[in-house]
Structure 1
Amino acid sequence: MPSTAQPQLHRRRKQSSARRDDDAPLIPILARKVREVEAKAQRGKLGPTNRVKFQVIAFLVREERARVKNDTTVPDAVRSESLKRLDGVATILAKTAARDTSLIQLLEVDQATSPVARRMRRDWLLESGAELAPDELIITDAAPALAPVVPPALAEKQVVPPAIEARQLANPFLAPDLDRPVRRESPRRRLDGWELMGPLYKAFETGAGGGAASMELPPVPEFDRLSPKGREIMAHQSRFLESVRDGHRTFLLADEPGLGKTAQSLLAASVAGAYPLLAVVPNVVKMNWAREVERWTPQRRATVIQGDGATIDAFADIFIVNYEILDRHLAWLSSIGLRGMVVDEAHFIKNLSSQRSQNVLTLAGRIREMTPGGNPLLMALTGTPLINDVEDFDAIWRFLGWTNGEKPGPELMEKLDATGMTPADKAFYPEAREAVISMGIVRRKKKDVAADLPDKLIADLPVELDDEFGRSIRDAERELGQRLADRYRRIVTARGDRGMGNSLGDDIDADIVRLVAQNELDESKAAGAGSENVFTMVRKIGQAKAHLAADYAVQLQRAVGKVVFFAKHIDVMDAAEAHFASAGLKTISIRGDQTTANRQDGIDAFNNDPSVGIAVCSLTAAGVGLNLQAASNVVLAELSWTAAEQTQAIDRVHRIGQGEPVTAWRIIAAHTIDTKIAELIDSKQGLSLRALDGEAVDPASSDSVQLSALMHLTRRALGGE
């Protein structure tokens, strides 16, 4: 008897739910969609697709509320139930907006305005069985409005170096573009009605189809016609350049650090004749880029833009500028007829709300407009394009013109349309991933293209902080965990239940844990260094480890020779340098506040002067673009917050030309949160392995290391770990 009663009860409940949904079929769709948005927001990953989804939900809630209130055929009980369910959706929207205040303005929209939003609204209404007017079924894209290269806020900052004025006077008119195709309305395609950005990200997030994310490249040519005298390009570089020779012009060059991306991009410009060429690079590598131009394309002139550009060579072939000063040079750079643009360490532009990203994207758009045929050479260089989330691709794809953030561009749309499938088909995802890759993603790993490159090992060295400073750190960590646990308990008490989310065991609710951790993280970022939080705690751990890490580096240098010492904070670097000086060691320092010339002098001294034993480097200032391969040992005195930053630092040593096995020694404070951070950093490697290298690894959480660490402290204080 009991065995049959339960299924009958389940059927009665299902039938009751079905009747309820028949009265308001749109509401369960909105409830499902708002939960998807809420889950993303809790992880701090509300990208463009989910922001549009949030906007459409808000609009449809108002629209559905008005419909239910005005429908006289609906019984009062049904109306009351429907309004209650809509209130539940609206409450989740409000809570999500409270977590990310930039969403508040989206709650106030009167209609779903963008084509993507209107398509999303149409699809959800059709899914609910609604009948739509013909003008709601057909949605066309408005012609994109061209954004000014120089936004009004930056107009007063613009400079025109005197040498540029001379160049403009020497050639006041650019050659007319007789080849630019007439802009025609894009033909209607089968996938025009589908929201595609989410599925494209999902295709990479799941590693759909497996295999490395690298486009098909031509074979190695019989002769090397590109290398200057005395130099030779490697086979993987030669194959890339052949694709440029074949006419390909947009690339995400995502080779692992140390495989010569700078040389490949400079030679690509030579093959494509993409001059004048603009290289937007981190400040720390500006001088190195100029040297690489001389090394690989000696027939071309490069000029490095410093400050207001008073000393630049206006008639150079290659203009090199760092991100920080690009904003004041936008006006003249957009007017000199650039035919190519390289963005080095392109993950720097992943934050689309930053002025840095907007400067790069608008300038790239102008170069596309000005280049004959509309097909300039655009290259994004980064060995670590994905930092925390697969939507880190967004800004890079926009820079390359593959998407506009809301939908794929015409060329990519054509490739997706040619698959003959839609996102409703499971087989669409590997095909979609391949379509994006064929647009120009090139990804090679060291182990595949540089067989003679020695191994790389990361070794952890736990150290005990057994002094008063160490005890105070452990006390502060316990206090923070207790504060988080108290917040958790207050929320559970206020809700009047034991939690309704994903259970972590022992009635610990995963959603509340994440909410508590996210609130603490937001408050910590806002408070800065003036309060006790996870950032100040980790900084104190770094300070406590400084002497121990420096002492280990001294012993290591005496045993193996040159050592690169990385730290995150200036006071840790200062303490280490004082210890090295007391030990009689000669060091160089690479920091963010140095001039470019001083920094390059230090790098040269480390690589060429046998008396220089240790390079003391900032993780943020020296973690990209530098060549420090005179050493084969790296000491990481402080841990980074991202796996990518750690990888970049180690690969300053582990790169082409290195002849010895490389060992990175991570100094980890035992019995503190430092141990958990190291574990989290290692787990974050999975995103790139899955998305870019096609390896079958378990998907790690998309939460940041900071958020995951705070969740760990909360669970531990609650007795869950």
Structure 2
Amino acid sequence: MPPTGHRRSSGHHGSRGASARHDDDAPLIPILARKVREVESKAQKGKVGPTNRTKFQVIAFLVREERRRVKADTEISDGTRAELLKRLDGVATILAKIAARDTSLIALLEVEQAASPVAQKLRRDWLIESGAKLSDDELIITTAPVAPTPSVPASLAAKQVLPPSAKAHRRSSPFLAPDLRPAAPTAPRRRLDGWELMGPLYKAFETGAGGTAASMTLPDAPRIDRLAPAGREIMKHQARFVEAAKRGHRTFLLADEPGLGKTAQSLLAASVSGAFPLLAVVPNVVKMNWAREAERWLPGRVASVINGDGDTVDAFADVLIVNYEVLDRHLSWLGDHGFRGMVVDEAHFIKNLGSQRSQNVLALSRRIRERTPDHNPLLLALTGTPLINDVEDFNAIWQFLGWTNGERPNAELARRLDETGLTPADHGFYPEARQAVIDLGVVRRKKIDVAADLPDKLVADLPVELDDDLGRSIRAAETEMAQRMYASYERIILARGSERTARGLVDHDIMRLVAQGELDDGSGSASGENVFSMVRRIGQAKAPLAADYTAQLARSVGKVVFFAKHIDVMDQAERVFAERGLRTVSIRGDQSTPARQEAIDAFNTDEGVSVAVCSLTAAGVGVNLQAASNVVLAELSWTAAEQTQAIDRVHRIGQAEPVTAWRIIAAHTIDTKIAELIDSKQGLAARALDGEQREAGPQDSVQLSALLHLLEQEISR
């Protein structure tokens, strides 16, 4: 019952009692205003996924419901009614803006009821938060069973191939051993079954609830190393992970910082778990490295790489290695192969649930789980950067591991949440929920904590002046872009007659609207300039300066790794190095796997090779370049994760020297702000994974934040 002494409101969804933080007349409106801002923030970043689509639908439904209630309420004055309707109109206006950005949402505005179980749960939870008294029918929400998803989508059926050795494998072993154990009992109904839990689980990590590192409790390492093969030795943090797999744990998000040996840990975990055959889904650039690592850590086992249509693959191998790009044509036979384990390397590659790559990986993991006799295969998601921009980046990884189905937790996680005795309405729920997920198998170790002998890492910024014609044209283009946005801002201000600006205040909502419009407009100015082309031109202008500094480093300290985003910047740098008489190797996206590995080996072993010229995207993952201890970042990435991955090609186990990454920053340009924004993005992972009490920085994309900075500077002049 609502607390006595508070005003009760009428309406078909029951009476509402306002708490101290809600308006007495309409306690639901502040909640709707807060929720619609959350969805708007995601929409501005292009993150209107399933969860936020459902929130959008429920907000629209409740706005209509609340409007009817306010109009019919005879206990409030006409002035109060007008004010409440105006506030509801404000929420509806934001919904319309969001729908204008993503027109597929318009259909949800027309739906007259929140029909799905998730939508019903959201509606119920928000009404309870507002103090509503609900009927039993509204409190108890039933969930329809989820229809099974085929392992091969119909759209990919025609692409499926069956390698010759896979045919032979089927003939030699046409059936999997039957699972004769009794079926698991139906999960009992739990206290939290009616609650929407995915949003609170994300929030638990977003806020860093609990303030502790996101790592499950691992057993102590064995006193005598019986986990590594004869003649090899693993570090203590690796041994503790492998020991956990040996003792029966079967699902892991191994989120160790890059360079701590996740590949070796995965292969040894498969060995002690008997999880063969093992499927490894990896980026193309590391397929050969995975085969080499399997040879090192699994002597006596056979690893085979799937290329193209798989004509050369050995389907009888213990470890099959396939890259994301060719996975779509092998779904059928891989799904029926009888794998006992699956590894997804660089698992942040599947964060976009709408991509075919993500759908392929999730379909295979479901199939492997179904086909494993105990339905408990070894599933490993490996990534040093599981969070790129948003906590919902966890979504696909959790689904791969079977911890959730995207809409609700699995039975084990639901049981753990239920045992807390709390609900998402309780503040104490969030640290408990975060820990419940961690205990399912999140393992996160930082280099500073587990590799005491690993040398320090320093990121040093080197500002450079672009004082040539190209530099002057870049600054002119920045000025033109800022003035173009300011003109748009002024037009909107004048058209709306904003009260804030009449008082000399900046309207940040309009600023965001203008900056987002600039970002969405691919053409930019009449000359075709936009934030992306401008940053590329800055990279071109910095290229000779960055290459010159790299050449000086190579002459004074030895081998250097040079990173750039664009091929033309790499080409410019290589011309400079050739003119200086420096031998180089190149690691690019258009190379074959053998050619790439040959370049890596030459850099690491040939004393005559001074510089590795690398693509941020092609060489930023799964590449070991620890023969160098100096890295030059000639161009800035749009994400902190990409920058970290690049530096950690050098800063990894086996490195004997302190590592310095030199970021070349174009002074007095947008480049300086981008560097600052990249650094601020480190806060999300630091809170969510490492338990650090750090500010998250802006949640907008780096591109949008940079444009807002330009516009704000222009307004303040």
Question: CA separation of 1:297/1:528 partners in 2, compared to 1, >3 Å: closer, same or farther?
Answer: farther
1:121 aligns with 2:123: yes
Question: CA separation of 1:486/1:277 partners in 2, compared to 1, >3 Å: closer, same or farther?
Answer: same
Identity fraction in percent? 74
Question: CA separation of 1:579/1:120 partners in 2, compared to 1, >3 Å: closer, same or farther?
Answer: same
Retained in 2: the 8 A contact 1:149–1:331? yes
Question: CA separation of 1:511/1:83 partners in 2, compared to 1, >3 Å: closer, same or farther?
Answer: closer
Cα distance in 2 for residues equivalent to 1:71 and 1:508: 37
Q: State the Cα distance separating 1:569 from its structure 2 match.
A: 0.1
Cα distance in 2 for residues equivalent to 1:468 and 1:25: 60
Question: CA separation of 1:145/1:222 partners in 2, compared to 1, >3 Å: closer, same or farther?
Answer: same
Question: CA separation of 1:202/1:78 partners in 2, compared to 1, >3 Å: closer, same or farther?
Answer: closer
1:378 aligns with 2:376: no
Matches within 5 A, 1:546-585: 546-585=543-582
The size of the alignment, in residue pairs, is 698
Cα distance in 2 for residues equivalent to 1:423 and 1:269: 37
Retained in 1: the 8 A contact 2:631–2:660? yes
Cα distance in 1 for residues equivalent to 2:562 and 2:379: 35
Q: State the Cα distance separating 1:200 from its structure 2 match.
A: 1.6
Retained in 1: the 8 A contact 2:229–2:297? yes
Retained in 1: the 8 A contact 2:129–2:425? no
* Aligned residue type for 2:62: L
Q: State the Cα distance separating 1:471 from its structure 2 match.
A: 0.4
Q: TM-score, normalised by structure 1?
A: 0.92
Matches within 5 A, 1:439-458: 439-458=440-459
Question: CA separation of 1:238/1:530 partners in 2, compared to 1, >3 Å: closer, same or farther?
Answer: farther
1:716 aligns with 2:717: no
Cα distance in 1 for residues equivalent to 2:331 and 2:561: 37
Q: State the Cα distance separating 1:135 from its structure 2 match.
A: 3.3
Cα distance in 1 for residues equivalent to 2:687 and 2:634: 29
Question: CA separation of 1:664/1:32 partners in 2, compared to 1, >3 Å: closer, same or farther?
Answer: closer
Cα distance in 1 for residues equivalent to 2:527 and 2:303: 45
Q: State the Cα distance separating 1:398 from its structure 2 match.
A: 1.2
Q: State the Cα distance separating 1:140 from its structure 2 match.
A: 1.8
Alignment partner of 1:718: what SS?
Answer: helix
Question: CA separation of 1:58/1:608 partners in 2, compared to 1, >3 Å: closer, same or farther?
Answer: same
Retained in 1: the 8 A contact 2:125–2:196? no
Please name the residue that 2:92 is paired with. 90
Alignment partner of 1:564: what SS?
Answer: strand
Instruction: Tell me which moved more, 141-150 or 642-651.
Output: 141-150
Matches within 5 A, 1:493-532: 493-499=494-500, 507-524=505-522, 531-532=528-529
Please name the residue that 1:59 is paired with. 61
Retained in 2: the 8 A contact 1:42–1:515? no
Retained in 2: the 8 A contact 1:492–1:498? no
Matches within 5 A, 1:263-282: 263-282=264-283
Alignment partner of 1:474: what SS?
Answer: helix
Retained in 2: the 8 A contact 1:340–1:377? yes
* Aligned residue type for 2:496: R
Please name the residue that 2:102 is paired with. 100
* Aligned residue type for 2:551: V
Q: Deviations over 1:477-532 (max 9, x none)?
A: 111111111122222222211448xx9x96222222222222222223x8899821
Cα distance in 2 for residues equivalent to 1:580 and 1:529: 37
Question: CA separation of 1:527/1:315 partners in 2, compared to 1, >3 Å: closer, same or farther?
Answer: farther
Retained in 1: the 8 A contact 2:683–2:697? yes
Cα distance in 2 for residues equivalent to 1:593 and 1:43: 30
Please name the residue that 2:389 is paired with. 388
Residue of structure 2 aligned with 1:136, choices 135, 138, 150 = 138
What runs of 5+ residues in structure 2 fail to find an aligned partner? 1-19
Q: Deviations over 1:520-575 (max 9, x none)?
A: 22223x88998210000000000011111111111111111111110000000111
Q: Deviations over 1:356-399 (max 9, x none)?
A: 11111111111111112111111111111111112211111111
Question: CA separation of 1:592/1:30 partners in 2, compared to 1, >3 Å: closer, same or farther?
Answer: same
Question: CA separation of 1:66/1:634 partners in 2, compared to 1, >3 Å: closer, same or farther?
Answer: same
What runs of 5+ residues in structure 1 fail to find an aligned partner? 1-17
Q: State the Cα distance separating 1:134 from its structure 2 match.
A: 3.8
Q: State the Cα distance separating 1:700 from its structure 2 match.
A: 1.3
Alignment partner of 1:652: what SS?
Answer: coil
Please name the residue that 1:228 is paired with. 229
Retained in 1: the 8 A contact 2:585–2:613? yes
Cα distance in 2 for residues equivalent to 1:70 and 1:679: 52
Q: State the Cα distance separating 1:117 from its structure 2 match.
A: 0.8
Please name the residue that 2:666 is paired with. 669
Q: State the Cα distance separating 1:109 from its structure 2 match.
A: 3.2
Alignment partner of 2:343: what SS?
Answer: strand
Cα distance in 1 for residues equivalent to 2:409 and 2:504: 46
Question: CA separation of 1:104/1:530 partners in 2, compared to 1, >3 Å: closer, same or farther?
Answer: farther
Cα distance in 1 for residues equivalent to 2:344 and 2:86: 51
Please name the residue that 1:7 is paired with. none
Alignment partner of 1:480: what SS?
Answer: helix
Q: State the Cα distance separating 1:45 from its structure 2 match.
A: 4.3
Alignment partner of 1:373: what SS?
Answer: coil
Q: State the Cα distance separating 1:186 from its structure 2 match.
A: 2.6
1:608 aligns with 2:605: yes
* Aligned residue type for 1:700: G
Q: Deviations over 1:625-658 (max 9, x none)?
A: 1000011111111111111111100100010001
Instruction: Tell me which moved more, 25-34 or 299-308.
Output: 25-34
Q: State the Cα distance separating 1:447 from its structure 2 match.
A: 1.1
Alignment partner of 2:175: what SS?
Answer: coil
1:332 aligns with 2:333: yes
Alignment partner of 1:372: what SS?
Answer: coil
Q: Deviations over 1:189-208 (max 9, x none)?
A: 12222222222222212211
Alignment partner of 2:610: what SS?
Answer: strand
* Aligned residue type for 1:492: I
